[in-house]
Amino acid sequence: MTSNAEAFDRARAVIPGGVSSPVRAYGSVGGTPVFVARAEGALVWDVAGREYVDLVGSWGPAILGHAHPEVVGAVQAAAARGLSFGAPTVAEAELAELVRARVPLAVKVRFVSTGTEACMTAVRLARGATGRDLVVKFAGCYHGHSDALLAAAGSGVLTAGLPGSAGVPSAATAQTLVVPYNDPDAIREVFAARGDQIAAVITEPAAANMGVIPPEPGFNALLRELTTAHGALLIYDEVLTGFRVSDAGWWGLEGRTITPDLFTFGKVVGGGMPLAALGGRPELLDLLAPLGPVYQAGTLSGNPLATAAGIATLQLADADVYARVDAASHALATAVTAALDAAGVPHRLQRAGSLFSVFWGVTGPVSDYASAQGQNAGAYRAFFHAMLDAGIALPPSAYEAWFLSATHDDAAIERIAAALPGAARAAAASL
Ligand SMILES: Cc1ncc(COP(=O)(O)O)c(C=O)c1O
């Protein structure tokens, strides 16, 4: 048995920051990350054997709870048949059919390994289809770490996006226009000025990577209207929301009224394994190699273990699962609000379906990246650590949604609720 601190030291000696993805390092909350040894249902255990109720949920995939026996069984059975073939399998068509059954606009589906790849490929496809170079993204939306989409969040309207990372050439983001989320005038202005050069608008149809910020009524419809009018494509990035906030993701929850040209999916569609997808109209998807001129490929794309996990997860994620996640989300959000109110912590809890997050020290609506950044992240730091000390593992950043699963039953919610008053007092003391 080792401790988290020992595990962190060991990892830091050989892995930059000790982690394989930055937010896991607890940079914004401080302290030593929980090194997970195993997980089951709503619970995780660290390397020292300590148990936590988990609200990270692998950052979205674990909608059925961790290590669902049928998903694990499907992966084990697939593993016994071979880990990777580099050849097509029937299971890939089966998973594509399951995706299409839920989101019929995804008539054809291409599988990749990460959400980053799905969004990168969707942008390339949009550029290939339209023969145009410009891509519009919204400040604070995250579409993975490909160069073109790492444009500085917060850049002004009509300014070329600046790289959001060292190592991204300015040429790679010069073709990315960054616009404030939920700002109809700004997006209208962009299209009025450069509409004939825009290949696509990529959006999180409900934003959840700058805290949870649902679209204002009519905003997504406006994106469809403007893109259609100017011959640009609309990409719904549902890597996070897809098959999580409803059986058909945000697109389903908002009423199936908007018709994006392309969707990207990740997280739930891979059931906790490295699998993501893009889907859309057949004439667009058929522009991908081998049928068309837009190149995309992957040694491990459509991997049989990942595909098996995705199939089992989508088959199991029925109406009852979504109802349970919704109920858990509602109960927890109510308890959080009550605890923060009782401790006198000014806050704003925002929801997008079953996703929610808390903005600390603000009370007015948070509608875009600029208003999200007005929060007091220090209050979250105190709250986070008090919860962790009480055995509740929250996402280690104030800008992330809290992820629930169908296994967050009354007992799990009660355990979280019991920890809330003390953590709320810790947050209040830090303000
Ligand atoms: C909306 C959205 N798009 C894309 C990505 C990138 O996915 P991945 O981390 O699998 O590359 C994420 C990851 O959090 C996401 O939330």
- The overall pTM is greater than 0.85: yes
CB 391 within 8 A of CB 412: no
Q: Which of 20, 116, 301, 357 to mutate to test the pocket of ligand 1 (most atoms within 8 A of CB)?
A: 116
Alpha helices in 343-406 (DSSP H): 369-372, 377-389
pLDDT of residue 163: 64
Residue 410 has pLDDT above 80, yes or no: yes
pLDDT in tens, 32-88: 999 999 999 999 999 999 999 999 999 999 999 999 999 999 999 999 999 999 999
Please provide the average confidence, as pLDDT, over all residues in the chain: 95
Q: Pick from 380, 358, 375, 357: which is nearest to 428 by CA? A: 380
CA distance 257 to 265: 19
pLDDT of residue 162: 54
Nearest CA to ligand 1 atom 16: 240
Residue 155 has pLDDT above 80, yes or no: no
pLDDT in tens, 161-201: 456 788 888 888 889 999 999 999 999 999 999 999 999 99
Which one of the listed residues 46, 54, 183, 237 is annotated catalytic? 237
Tokens of 307: 């595909």
**Distance from CA of residue 249 to its chain's centroid?**
12
Is 108 a residue of the active site? Answer: no
Is 341 a residue of the active site? Answer: no
Q: Which atom of ligand 1 is nearest to the CA of 141?
A: 1
- Whether ligand 1 lies within 6 angstroms of the CB of 266 is answered as yes
Name the one residue in this structure whose structure tokens are 């990207």. 264
Q: Is the dihedral of CA 6, 10, 13, 18 positive or negative?
A: negative
Contacts for 337 with CB less than 8 Å, ≥ 6 apart: 347, 349
Distance (angstroms) between ligand 1 centre and the Cα of 264 equals 9
Q: Which of 19, 142, 303 to mutate to test the pocket of ligand 1 (most atoms within 8 A of CB)?
A: 142
pLDDT in tens, 247-283: 999 999 999 999 999 999 999 999 999 999 999 999 9
CB 280 within 8 A of CB 261: yes
pLDDT in tens, 323-348: 999 999 999 999 999 999 999 999 99
CB 106 within 8 A of CB 314: no
Report domain extents, the chain.
1-36, 69-316, 318-392
Is residue 400 classed exposed, middle or buried when 0-12, 13-18 and 19+ CB atoms within 10 A define those classes? buried
pLDDT of residue 108: 98
Nearest CA to ligand 1 atom 13: 144
Alpha helices in 243-295 (DSSP H): 249-253, 282-285
Residues 300-322, mean pLDDT to the nearest whole number: 98
- Whether ligand 1 lies within 6 angstroms of the CB of 237 is answered as yes
pLDDT in tens, 196-234: 999 999 999 999 999 999 999 999 999 999 999 999 999
CATH fold group of domain 69-316: Aspartate Aminotransferase; domain 2 (3.40.640)
The sheet with strand 392-393 has its strands ordered as: 36-40, 43-46, 51-54, 392-393
pLDDT of residue 124: 98
Residues 350-378, mean pLDDT to the nearest whole number: 94
- Whether ligand 1 lies within 6 angstroms of the CB of 204 is answered as yes
pLDDT of residue 96: 98
- For residue 2, the tally of other CB atoms under 10 A from its CB is 14
